[in-house]
């Protein structure tokens, strides 16, 4: 049983609860990105279990009008074991998703997973373009990564980055990260070979910048926010733009809830507002 405070940010422990939340969002015009909670598995059985959960979710979402897609973490489906296991498991999920026409997102984790994540995305998106991958504006390598991704099908989600990375590989000053986010946004919108852009941010300034870039370049884009964070803004934005809510569920809710509200000062502020306004 998830306590009321955590239920602001986690849809429940079961797929049925997540899909019911997706139905409620769909009535508002908001799309759903479903994530089965779990990460950093080092045993094949644990990874295989979540792979099967994702495949079942794909089958259950396929053919519905929920406007739902899925998002997987590499360390959840085998990268903590080895890269071959990760690719094999991702391939199984993508195969099931392709059968049902379900969009697949690959989340980005800490810097040690970036190369394997992008390699796997490149491997599968050329065969199944209904895929997206996340990149983090705080990493110093992101400009180069975006240039690589620009020539591929699929969608790129740009986030600021929540992992505590060392200065040698990441910008750690908030102002510098914001500047990098704006720079990368402009590249994504202006690069002629880029596909759709997913703006993964709760920052009103970044969302406004994305809208301005969309008006200037005409590039398709969507806005992605977390469940329980700035839901009033999500309801307003969906009147004019495509809005997706990231909806996690599962019995591993406690670590997700704790990390999300503590990882960045602004997330904590949004969480407190959500709780107080409940």
12-70 confidence digits (pLDDT tens): 999 999 999 999 999 999 999 999 999 999 999 999 999 999 999 999 999 899 989 99
Whether 43 maps to a domain, the answer reads: yes
Whether 265 maps to a domain, the answer reads: yes
Whether 204 maps to a domain, the answer reads: yes
Give catalytic status of residue 157 as yes or no. yes
**Given 50, 60, 107, 178, which residue is catalytic?**
107
Whether 76 maps to a domain, the answer reads: yes
Contacts 24+ apart (CB under 8 A), 172-176: 172/138
Give catalytic status of residue 115 as yes or no. no
The angle formed by the CA atoms of residues 162, 29 and 53, to the nearest 5 degrees, is 60
Whether 1 maps to a domain, the answer reads: no
Whether 59 maps to a domain, the answer reads: yes
| 3-state secondary structure at position 135 | strand
pTM greater than the 0.85 cutoff: yes
Dump pLDDT digits (tens) for 57-75.
999 999 899 989 999 999 9
Question: Which of 130, 102, 138, 133 is CA-nearest to residue 119?
Answer: 133
Domain hosting residue 48, numbered range: 6-276
Give the number of domains in the chain.
1
**Given 55, 87, 157, 209, which residue is catalytic?**
157
Whether 40 maps to a domain, the answer reads: yes
Q: How far apart are CA 66 and CA 86, in angstroms?
A: 28
Token pair 């392709």: residue: 98
Dump pLDDT digits (tens) for 106-165.
999 999 999 999 999 999 999 999 999 999 999 999 999 999 999 899 999 999 998 889
Question: Can you give the CATH number for the domain in which 193 is found?
Answer: 3.20.20.220
Whether 107 maps to a domain, the answer reads: yes
Question: Which of 34, 99, 35, 94 is CA-nearest to residue 66?
Answer: 34
């Amino acid at each position: 049983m998830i306590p009321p405070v955590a239920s602001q940010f986690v849809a429940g422990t079961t797929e049925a609860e997540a899909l019911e939340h997706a139905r409620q969002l769909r009535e508002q015009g908001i799309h759903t990105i479903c994530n089965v909670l779990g990460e950093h598995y080092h045993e094949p059985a644990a990874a295989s279990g979540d792979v099967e959960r994702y495949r079942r979710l794909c089958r259950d979402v396929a053919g519905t009008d929920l406007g739902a897609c899925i998002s997987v973490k590499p360390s959840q489906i085998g990268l903590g074991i080895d890269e071959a296991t990760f690719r094999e498991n991702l391939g199984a999920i993508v195969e099931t998703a392709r059968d049902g026409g379900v969009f697949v997102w690959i989340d980005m984790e800490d810097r040690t997973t970036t190369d394997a994540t992008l390699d796997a995305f490149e491997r599968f998106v050329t065969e199944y373009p209904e895929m997206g991958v996340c990149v983090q504006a705080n990493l110093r390598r992101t400009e180069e990564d975006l240039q690589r991704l620009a020539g591929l099908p699929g969608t790129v989600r740009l986030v600021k980055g929540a992992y505590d990375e060392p200065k040698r590989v990441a910008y750690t000053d908030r102002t510098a990260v914001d500047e990098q986010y704006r720079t990368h946004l402009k590249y994504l919108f202006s690069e002629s070979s880029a596909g759709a852009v997913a703006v993964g941010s709760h920052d009103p300034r970044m969302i406004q910048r994305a809208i301005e870039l969309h008006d200037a370049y005409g590039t398709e884009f969507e806005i992605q926010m977390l469940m329980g964070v700035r839901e009033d803004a999500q309801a307003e934005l969906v009147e004019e733009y495509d809005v997706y809510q990231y909806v996690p569920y599962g019995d591993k809710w406690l670590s997700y809830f704790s990390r999300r509200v503590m990882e960045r000062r602004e997330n904590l502020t949004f969480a407190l507002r959500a709780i107080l306004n409940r």
